[in-house]
Amino acid sequence: MNIVLNGDPHTAREGCTLLGLLESLSIDPSRVAIELDGSIVKKEAWPATILQSGSRVEVVMFVGGG
């Protein structure tokens, strides 16, 4: 199915969850926040939040510095 990931077209498998999307992208879940269709989704909900065709997902990575 087609979604929009960080402003770019992306193909995800049917039934993919937010956590599954991160895993497929090799992204460490402890270092990101996710916005789905304009709303922040709490980490606890990622395993149960299923993406729909046309979903708009923004993955924001935390960057440390000093």
Domain limits of the chain?
2-61
Positive or negative, the CA dihedral 41, 48, 24, 30 is positive
Residue 62: band (very low, low, confident or very high) from pLDDT cuts 50, 70, 90: confident
CA distance 55 to 65: 32
- For residue 66, how far is the Cα from the chain centroid? 27
CATH 3.30.1490.20 fits 2-61, yes or no: no
CA distance 27 to 8: 17
User: What pTM, to 2 d.p., does this model score?
Assistant: 0.91
CA distance 35 to 60: 8
Tens of pLDDT, residues 21-61: 999 999 999 999 999 999 999 999 999 999 999 999 999 99
